[in-house]
Amino acid sequence: MISGVENIWNVFQRSKYGLRSVRFASSRRRVTVKPADSRKTFLIDSYKDLMDKNPVVLFAHHNNLIKQENAHFRALVKDLGGRMTVIRNDLFQVYLRNAHLPDPCAPVRRKLQNRAHPLSRLFQGPTAAISFPETNPAQVGKLLKQLEKSSDKLFIVGAKVESEAMDLAKLNQFKLLPTKPELQSQLLGLLHILSGAGLVRTLEAGSQALFLTLSSHHDHMSEGKETTE
């Protein structure tokens, strides 16, 4: 008879080895340049996740940030609703070259890589990615204004907004735009006005056509009655 302790141990052993086998099976199914459980593969996966899940990602260069300065900038970004992540340039460029592929970590022929990605030129020094989970130009504007006071300790060099790569000039134009909900509201209002005017014209045209048809029918009936008499 198996005691309760032994039973728990057997369940633990089965679950432990079961998890290991699933992990190894998953690793065998996924073919990557570096081992699937290596740090390099993990970082490239995390960069893909960052870019896929955040419509706005700003890229900033930083100059020898001490611990207090690093904490200050991270807190500043967090207060604005974003997150700051220091990245490895070489691995992020690997991700960019393969970002259009199903798995950026998989082996791929050179001619299938995108070596002219518009963001690749940004990674020429110590770089951080500042990500926002929503497309909010006001957040970007506030961040740029705050970073103007940083004495070039941290400065923006480019960005990814939705599916578009932006330089600093375009980013300064973007920060002046309304938010996406505001733009959607304005568009709905415009469509409502246009559709309302068109609907009135349609209804008027329909009633006029109906009136003319009934009048013609009435005149025709009257003429026929007079002829019969």
For residues 60 and 137, what is the distance between their CA atoms, to the nearest angstrom?
17
DSSP structure string for 161-203: ETTEEE-HHHHHHHTTSPPHHHHHHHHHHHHHHHHHHHHHHHH
Q: Measured at the alpha carbon of residue 57, what is the angle toward residues 53 and 62, in degrees to the nearest 5?
A: 135
pLDDT tens, residue by residue, 62-100: 988 899 999 999 999 999 999 999 999 999 999 999 999
- The pTM of this model reads 0.70
Least confident of 23-27, 151-155, 185-189, 201-205: 23-27
Q: Are 41 and 35 in contact (CB under 8 A)?
A: yes
Q: Are 86 and 96 in contact (CB under 8 A)?
A: no
| 38-175, CATH topology level | Alpha-Beta Plaits (3.30.70)
For residues 54 and 135, what is the distance between their CA atoms, to the nearest angstrom?
8
